[in-house]
């Protein structure tokens, strides 16, 4: 049997901690079918339905789900909450109720005898509590019956010009692959130029000469005398990050999009543009037609936040493709 057969065999997945569906877009792009999703945030669920339709079944808070109520699915994908492990959060880890969601996912894995999973979280999980949190999670996933591989990957290496490091876990139920084989992570691919993402569609111009907030920023104690705005606006697709007190410049790539990060600017034709929610979706790999469909139906502030919380579509699709190839290479051992 070839990879096409495997796509049929791995037809169904369920989208947990779904956000606005970045993981779903990634898996659907390689031929898999989503049977339902679970998302506790109502605003994110509204955007998800704008993308995928009003008939989508949302099972809500996964910690309250009775696994017996769930439909059949082969694969679980989940971008479980990262605030507990992020370097910008309080880093409570597994002592935070949000951190314990990983165990809600494990309970569903066991109850439904799920064959495969793909999980995503922030890079900060790697060294949280000196690495003990990661070791505990891996140990519990192994105890639940899964062979697990993990790696920190950068979206910049997977086809989008965004510097976004995230940890991904790929798990396969042990009894399906009794002869262990090494999962091979996707090879790197170059990111296209920024001009494919910063389209100026729906973008908002910043009147930098008369904007008091921006001018106070340029003249604060960290930035005063360092930058000539006239030189900055002479370079198309120069990225200007105003998140920190010190101004940061990027070329050919944008810094990590985050839920509360709305200070990314870029230069286009001598004008200073604010990164739009539509452009943020493109930088997360969302298809242009889908991004256009919702850009006028969700506020800019909300869409920027939701895009910042999403999984990068291209990363998920490439990891999913590698999982299919991995299974194909071990098909003779699969029950």
As annotated, the active-site residues are 82
Query: Three-state secondary structure along 223-243?
Result: CCCCCCHHHHCCCCCEEEECC
How many of the other CB atoms lie within 10 Å of CB of 115? 20
Q: Give CA–CA dist 323/169, Å, rounded.
A: 11
Q: Give CA–CA dist 81/124, Å, rounded.
A: 12
- CA-based end-to-end distance of the chain: 14
Six-digit token pair at 41? 């945030």
Q: Give CA–CA dist 301/311, Å, rounded.
A: 18
Q: What is the DSSP letter of 38?
A: E
Q: Give CA–CA dist 48/55, Å, rounded.
A: 11
Six-digit token pair at 236? 């198309």
Q: What is the DSSP letter of 201?
A: T
Residue 7 CB-density burial (10 A; 0-12 exposed, 13-18 middle, 19+ buried): middle
List the beta strands (DSSP E) in the chain.
12-16, 33-38, 75-78, 116-122, 146-154, 165-173, 204-206, 238-241, 248-251, 264-268, 271-274
Q: Give CA–CA dist 84/125, Å, rounded.
A: 9
Q: Give CA–CA dist 83/300, Å, rounded.
A: 22
């Amino acid at each position: 049997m070839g990879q096409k057969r495997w796509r049929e065999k791995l037809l169904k997945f369920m989208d947990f901690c779904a956000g606005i569906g970045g993981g779903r877009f990634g898996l659907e792009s390689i031929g898999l079918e989503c049977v339902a999703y679970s998302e506790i945030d109502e605003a994110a669920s509204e955007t998800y339905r704008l993308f995928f339709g009003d008939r989508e079944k949302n099972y809500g808070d996964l910690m309250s789900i009775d696994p017996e109520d769930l439909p059949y699915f082969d694969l679980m994908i989940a971008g479980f909450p990262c605030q507990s492990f992020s370097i910008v959060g309080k880093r409570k880890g597994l002592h935070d109720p949000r951190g314990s969601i990983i165990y809600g996912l494990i309970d569903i894995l066991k109850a439904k005898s799920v064959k495969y999973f793909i999980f995503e979280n922030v890079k900060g999980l790697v060294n949280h509590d000196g690495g003990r949190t990661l070791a505990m999670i891996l140990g519990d996933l192994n105890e639940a019956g899964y062979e697990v591989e993990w790696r920190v990957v950068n979206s910049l290496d997977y086809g989008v010009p965004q510097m976004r490091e995230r940890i991904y876990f790929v798990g396969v139920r042990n009894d399906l692959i009794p002869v262990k084989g090494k999962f091979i992570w996707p090879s790197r691919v170059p990111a296209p130029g920024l001009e494919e993402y910063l389209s100026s569609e729906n973008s908002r111009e910043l009147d930098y000469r008369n904007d008091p907030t921006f001018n106070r920023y340029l003249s604060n104690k960290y930035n005063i005398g360092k930058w000539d705005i006239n030189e900055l606006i002479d370079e198309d697709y120069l990225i200007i990050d105003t998140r920190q007190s010190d101004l940061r410049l990027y070329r050919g790539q944008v810094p990590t999009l985050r839920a509360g990060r709305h200070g990314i600017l870029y230069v286009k034709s001598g004008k200073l543009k604010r990164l739009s929610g539509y452009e943020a979706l493109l930088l997360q790999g969302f298809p242009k037609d889908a991004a256009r469909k919702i850009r006028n139906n969700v506020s800019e502030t909300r869409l920027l936040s939701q895009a910042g919380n999403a999984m990068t579509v291209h990363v998920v699709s490439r990891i999913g493709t590698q999982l299919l190839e991995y299974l194909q290479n071990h098909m003779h051992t699969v029950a």
